[in-house]
Structure 1
């Protein structure tokens, strides 16, 4: 009986030690708050374990390596910045490093942002590296893009432009017959004007129809944003357009030229590109602000002039004229 009792004690002790061991590997880690750790390129699991111990994500680098050897797998770890939640277990930390689930940061390009402002935004982001030229206007798809600490700005721009190329190809393949543009490049140019002329999503296809009708009839587009672009490269003008700017012939000003400008005046979003490739079926040739954030549309110059007078009356009421 004494032998059986001793044996039982040994088994119980072994089970307790095993449970404690498993708990140290699978149980909650020592971090009491979220920790960010940057694993540099070329780091081994050993050096990463030391960083994790110094940061307080694990209790012991030595124990972590031992457990990883016997209880983990031999998949390589990935470099990058990791956000480790409070109490994350050692086994979960190893899995995170091996899966490469790095901390993702984002840079957002709003619809209609000109490339000069995209460039400024990227250059001001302190966690990106390297320099990059101003992207070609209209080559960037507005969206939110993830990046990792230390990533090169050129790599981010490349992703933005690849997204535009893919989106444009998909939309061009679905274009409707009878549209006013004959190439994807022209579609981006016209979409950039639509993007700058309205911030109301429901109006995009109607605004696109106005410019489609004007192009087909050989009328000047007379879009204010095309007059401003050569002056500011897409940045806000901050004042009224000068008469000299309205008459300037520079390849962009659609008050002075017939047809599309020589290139985009901003980076249009997916919906504006889709709008010019499938515009609303209307006879509209004119539009003016309605005082509520949108526009009122007209088929004839007489109707348009009446709408303009209503807009002027609204502005006078507001003390803007």
Structure 2
């Protein structure tokens, strides 16, 4: 009888313990996956080589999670404890521990914190400082300057020294290789000499994460590798029947498409015009190639082309030469390369500006002349010169 009571009491105690454990597990799961304690967006910064224990303590200290232990246990359970990715990640208000684990182990571009960005643009290169407003969860510009003509603000110099600040180089589509090298040389947070300006078209416009003291040449090499990979992928996926004998010719066409339109949706149509001209034995007659022959990609031509320039016999004057120019005239982005290798199926052989930022396309010279007349009217209304040739614009 005594042993039966002991067994009964033990069984009862075991059941109570199991219920307590189940309740604890249920609570822990709810705590891990339920809304977090922070009422505002949090910028979670993961240092290189940081341990899960250090990160969990950091998150608890800044109020992003309610328990460092539960955060570590949950990450272990998700088998994510060894997947921490260096960077700064914005997590929304009331984010759960589960969501935070997902954010800091998925990787990708940093989404919050202080960042200094070198922007190499077609018309200007700037360095700007941005920081996240935690109340709105949005980046705000704090300072900006042109490194070629202005002194760096103290705020930017101080930000460059911060160990947790992100440094980026953002290269716009359509810039020349010379512009990129000049921009990199203007960035004090980069180091090293550039031996030679890379071949035109060989650098991929994109945003690149760098570290203070990164070598300029190493960054150029990465841009070149990325562009080569993009071109190879697009070339391998191209349809048959295009008038290119090599990927290099497709890259030349992509650079022309890039410079001819600022409207992304137009790229396939613009590419179709030039492909149709090549196939019909027409000259390309495009102003951006002539401009490149005048400037060698070293400046922006803030004026219309002169008649003498349009008549000059240069390798880049597509009013005078047949086929493509000898090299690209800028560094095209992936979208322009894709358009050059996947042009729209059209009968267009002409285009001209339509006044909206885009172009009016035409199949015949009669249609084109009508479009040109409308464009001349728009120029006159704007008080702009109306004697610049437009045949090369399509």
**Could you say whether these structures have the same fold, taking a TM-score greater than 0.5 normalized by the shorter chain as the test?**
yes
Does the CA-based 8 Å contact 2:36-2:96 persist in structure 1?
yes
Q: What secondary structure, in the 3-state scheme, does the structure 2 residue paired with 1:37 have?
A: strand
State the distance in 1 between where 2:33 and 2:351 align: 65
Question: How far has the Cα of 1:247 moved from its partner?
Answer: 4.4
Return 73-82 or 286-295, whichever deviates more. Answer: 286-295
> Closer, same or farther in 2 for the Cα pair 1:93/1:155, shift >3 Å?
farther
Post-superposition offset of 1:212: 0.9
Matched, 1:139 2:221: no
Aligned residues: 303
CA 1:223–1:69 in structure 2 vs 1: closer, same or farther (change >3 Å)? Answer: closer
**Whole-Å Cα distance in 2 between the matches of residues 124 and 44 of structure 1?**
36
Per-residue CA shift, 1:130-161, capped at 9, x if unaligned?
7896664333566x76x668597558634354
CA RMSD across the alignment? 4.7
2:359 corresponds to 1:294? yes
User: Residue 226 of structure 1 corresponds to which residue in structure 2?
Assistant: 289
Match status 1:196 vs 2:259: yes
**C-alpha distance in structure 1 between counterparts of 2:248 and 2:47, whole Å:** 41
How far apart are the structure 1 equivalents of 2:65 and 2:221?
A: 33
Confirm whether residue 58 of structure 1 aligns to residue 121 of structure 2: no
Instruction: Report the secondary structure of 1:43's partner residue.
Output: coil
Task: Return the TM-score normalized by structure 1.
Answer: 0.68
1:38 aligns with 2:45: yes
> Which structure dedicates a bigger proportion of its chain to helix?
1
Matches within 5 A, 1:94-109: 94=101, 96-97=103-104, 99-104=105-110
C-alpha distance in 2, partners of 1:107/1:288?
Answer: 34
Moved more, 202-211 or 264-273: 202-211
Confirm or deny: 8 A CA contact 1:52 1:61 kept in the other structure. yes
**Contact 1:192–1:264 (CA under 8 A) maintained in structure 2:** yes
1:196 deviation in Å?
Answer: 3.0
Name which structure has the greater RCO, CA cutoff 8 Å, separation 6+: 1
SS at match of 2:38: coil
Higher strand share: 2
Separation in structure 1 between the aligned mates of residue 305 and residue 230 of structure 2, nearest angstrom: 34
SS in 2 for 1:83: strand
TM-score, scaled relative to structure 2: 0.58
Structure 1 residues 92 and 69 mapped into 2: Cα distance closer, same or farther (>3 Å)?
closer
Mapped to 1, the partners of 2:76 and 2:378 lie a distance apart of 76
Please state whether the residue corresponding to 2:237 is helix, strand or coil: helix
Write the mapping of 1:173-212 to structure 2, written as runs, cut at 5 A: 174-176=239-241, 179=243, 181-198=244-261, 199=263, 200-201=266-267, 203-209=269-275, 211-212=277-278
For 2:254 and 2:179, the matched residues in 1 are separated by 18
Contact 2:75 2:81 in 1 (8 A): no
Q: Distance in 1 between matches of 2:79 and 2:285?
A: 65
The answer for unaligned runs of 5 or more in structure 2 is: 1-7, 112-167, 386-394
2:304 matches 1:240? yes
Cα distance in structure 2, aligned partners of 1:245 and 1:85: 56
Structure 1: gaps (5+ residues): none
